Every structure is written in C-alpha cells, then in structure tokens.
Amino acid sequence: MKNRITILIVASVAALLALSAIQTHLVLNTYRLTRDAFVDEVDSAISVIDVSGRQDSLFDEWSTEMMDDLTDLQNHRIDKAEVLVRMKSSADSKRPEQKKLYQSLVDSLRLGYDVEYKKLITSVVMYNGNKADTIILLGPADRLVLFGEDFPDADANKIDRMTWFTKHDFISVVGDTISTRSFDLEVVAETMILITDRNSIVFGRVAKLLLASVVIFLFVIGLLFYSIRNLITQKRIAEIKTDFINNITHELKTPLATLSIATRSLRQKPVLDSPTAFTDTLDTIDRQSGRLQKLIDQVLNNSLGAEAIVLNKEPISDTVFFSELIQDFKLSAQHRDVTIHVDLHAPEVILRIDRFHLTTALFNVLENAVKFGIGHVGIRVHTAIKNGEYVIEISDNGIGISDRDQKQIFEKFFRVHEGDVHTVKGLGLGLYLTGQVLKAHGGAITVRSALKEGTTFIIGIPLG
Ligand code: ADP
C-alpha cells in the first residue's frame, strides 16, 4: 500500500513536470508566433514608406553617385578606401531628408507605438568578367547605414533583404587608350525595424492565455495535492482501524481466557470443597468481568467527542483535587516502582471543573507515564497560573515520543508504531479522551517530548 502510494505520488509529480514542460513550450511558441505576427503587422503598416517615391529617388541618387565612384575606381583615379568614404558621405547627405520624410509618414499612421527604421547596405561586389572585387562586405561593426537610425540589431527585426544586380558601362581611360568597358555589380541591402515596447505589447496580447494557463496549472497542482493528501489520510485511517481491531482483540483475549479458566475451575472438586478457593475464583471472575466491562465502556464512552461530553462543573480547590487524584493514582500504581513529586501553585486556587471527567483525563496521562516508563518511573506534577489559565505540567522520564508521533497522539485510536504494539496495553483512546475533556472545559493539552528522555504534557484550563 505504502509503495503504491509512493509510486502514485512519483508518477503524478513526473506527469505534472512533463505537463508543465509542454505547457511552457506551447506558451513560449505562442509568444513567438504572436511576436512574429505583430512584426508582420508593423511591417505592412509601414510598407508605405518603402514604396514612397521620394525615398526611391534618394536611393537612385545614392546609387548613381556610387556608380560614378566605382567608375573612378576602375579608372584608378581613387582607391577602394576613398570609394567607401564617398559612399558613406553620400548616404550621410541623404539621411536627414529621408528621416524627416519617414517621421512624417509614421506620424500620419498613428500606430500608437514608436517604430524606428533603417536600411543597411551589407555588401557591394563588383565583377569584372569572372573576377570579383569586393567593395564592402560588412560585418555589423562596419556597415553602411543608408537610411534611418543606426540602432543596435539585438532587439530589432529584419523585415526585408534585397539583392540588386546591374551592369554598368563606362569609358575607360588607360594612358592614351580610351575604350568603353563595363562591370557587373551586386548590391545587397537589408531593412530593419525596431519597435519600442515590442515585448510588452506582445506580452499584453498573450497575457490572458498566460494567466489562464497559470491558473489552470495551479488548479491541477492543488487538485493533485488535495487527492494525495486525502489518499494518505485514508490510508492512515485504515491503518489505525486495523491497529485498533488488533489491540481490542488482544485486550479482550486475556480476561476472556482467565474467565474461562476460572469458570472451569469452579466445577473442580478442590475448589468446590474449599470456600476460600471458591471465593478467590469468584473474585477473579468478578475482576475479569469488571475489566471486560471497563474495556467496553472505554470503547463506547471514551471515543466521545468534546461536544458529546456533558460536564457537571463544580468549584473545587486545586489542593483537594490533586491530593485525591494523586492518592488514587498511587494506589493503582503501587505494584510499580514509581516516585511522584507534586508542586502545586500556592496559594490554593478554586477551579471550576467536572471532577469526574478531569480525574479520568489526568489519570490517563499519569497511567501513560507508568505504562511508557523505563526502570524507575519519576513523575513530576507542577501547576501554575499563566495568562489567565491554570496550567498543569505532568512530566515523566519515560521512553519519550518522536516529533512526528507527537502530532498524532491526541487522535482517536492512535498508538505509536514501535516494535510489538501489544507489549504495552492500550487502545489508543486515552489521550484522545483527555483532549476531548479539556476541549469541553475550554482548555487544551499539548506535548513536549524527546525520545529516551521523557515527556511533558502541558494542560491549560481557563480560570473564572
Ligand atoms: P494508549 O495508552 O491506550 O496506547 P493513549 O491515547 O493514551 O493510548 O496514547 C497514545 C500513544 O501515545 C501511546 O500508545 C503511546 O505510544 C504514546 N504515549 C502517550 N503517553 C506517553 C508517554 N508518557 N510516554 C511515551 N509515550 C506516550
């Protein structure tokens, strides 16, 4: 059973982890798709800029100037570095007008967010027949920003990549020889946009989905936790019931066996002939039937809840109450090696309690100190007044109770599972009843204990 529950818990946790991984993957995918859809939306919104005639003519102007520079390069009038310087300065001279144009177009779109734009020339390669001559093949650090702002690429989106091939005829002057030559040109340009607040806008669009999936996920975790906790509780109840049946069977067996021997011996002549033996046997029968009765009463009455306990409260001096209690207890524990030390609050206090029920409740605690004691039993009863409560502390030097068991000892039928449960008699009802009696009085019982050192029960009863 325990193994099955462990397997169930491990399997459920594993399934939950797998489910959360899938869910995270799906949510991230949705986020990416929504982001791409948003970028497409922005791209088509600002596409008017690319098709605006003025920007095209600015591009044409720049490319014509580039062609002239490349012709000068072919004619060895300038070198490659100078071509680059001229290409950049030509772009610099066109950018202010393009930026103004772009800003007025974007403003007229009223998008509700800011979009920055740039067109980069990423490579220019010249071909002379089969020979390629790279003018620019730029890395990110050394590129030519033709139009727009030079924002970093990290958060930007590439919305276009254009490759432009052209053949250019020019007049070549080498020494005295003038001829018409041509070169082929390949220009690659990229367009990028940077949407400020892109991530928060996309997040806003997937927020509902994200929230719903988090809520559902938490709900599933809660449900699983609740089911497993219920399962463990059911299992514990089943164990407690089995223990109780084992205990009661064991408890009933001894007096029944003694009764059967005693009644059989009553038929035997030596007992019939001896009045003393006869009365002794009758006394045994009486004691054993009394014990049986006590056991049945314990099961029937002691399992009552606090609400079912009818109290008959009366004022009584604590000195009187404890002296009677200790006297009765000493009598019942006389066959054991027990020392009891009583330290009562002075001056005496008048308690309003149900004498009968509280005696039974405290008796259970005192009897346990003897039952679960090792060697010489030392009990200390100490009383005091704290925060308007009459506090009784009953300490022993017995086997002690582990931290885990301390949480359960006041539950119905609970007995510590240690070795043979039958070595110490009991039904696991004593402390439950004590707890219920105190609850009926408006008080409470708690425990402080360390294994092999001893146990202290702290009982609080409201005064007044
Ligand atoms: P019972 O004594 O019939 O077993 P109780 O309800 O009185 O039932 O006690 C529940 C369990 O708490 C006991 O079985 C025992 O394991 C543990 N216990 C109670 N009192 C003590 C004590 N003084 N020292 C050690 N263990 C104790």
pLDDT bucket at 421, cuts 50 / 70 / 90: very low
* pTM higher than the cut 0.85: no
What beta strand segments (E) does 101-142 contain?
115-128, 131-137
Find out whether the beta carbon of 431 lies less than 6 Å from any atom of ligand 1: yes
Return the half-sphere exposure (C-beta side, CA atoms, 13 A cut-off) of residue 270. Answer: 4
The better pLDDT of the pair 397, 3 is held by: 397
In this structure, are residues 303 and 432 in contact, taking their beta carbons and an 8 Å threshold?
Answer: yes
Tell me, what's the pLDDT at 140? 61
Find out whether the beta carbon of 426 lies less than 6 Å from any atom of ligand 1: yes
Distance CA 429, CA 364 (A): 9
Please say if the pLDDT value at position 146 is more than 50.
Answer: yes
Average pLDDT of the segment spanning 182-200: 89
CA 364 to ligand 1 centroid distance, Å: 9
The residue type of 131 is: K
Please say if the pLDDT value at position 408 is more than 70.
Answer: yes
Please say if the pLDDT value at position 137 is more than 80.
Answer: no
Tell me, what's the pLDDT at 340? 94
What beta strand segments (E) does 149-259 contain?
157-174, 177-195
Q: Which of 180-184, 349-353, 397-401 has the lowest mean pLDDT?
A: 180-184
Q: Could you report the per-residue pLDDT of 349-374, keeping only the tens digit for each?
A: 999 999 888 998 998 999 999 999 98
Find out whether the beta carbon of 396 lies less than 6 Å from any atom of ligand 1: yes
CA 367 to ligand 1 centroid distance, Å: 9
pLDDT bucket at 62, cuts 50 / 70 / 90: very high
Tell me, what's the pLDDT at 123? 87
Q: Could you report the per-residue pLDDT of 315-345, keeping only the tens digit for each?
A: 999 999 999 899 888 877 777 889 999 999 9
- Candidate of 368, 370, 377, 455 to mutate for ligand 1, largest count of ligand atoms within 8 Å of Cβ: 368
Distance CA 416, CA 400 (A): 11
Q: Could you report the per-residue pLDDT of 293-322, keeping only the tens digit for each?
A: 877 877 776 666 777 788 889 999 999 999
Find out whether the beta carbon of 409 lies less than 6 Å from any atom of ligand 1: yes
Q: Determine whether 423 is exposed, middle or buried from the number of CB atoms within 10 Å of its CB (0-12, 13-18, 19+).
A: exposed
As a whole-number percent, the residues of the chain with pLDDT over 70 amount to 95
The better pLDDT of the pair 175, 140 is held by: 175
Instruction: Give me the sign of the Cα torsion angle 49, 54, 57, 63.
Output: negative
Please say if the pLDDT value at position 59 is more than 60.
Answer: yes
Find out whether the beta carbon of 432 lies less than 6 Å from any atom of ligand 1: yes
Please say if the pLDDT value at position 188 is more than 60.
Answer: yes
Question: What SS3 state is found at 164?
Answer: strand
Question: What SS3 state is found at 392?
Answer: strand
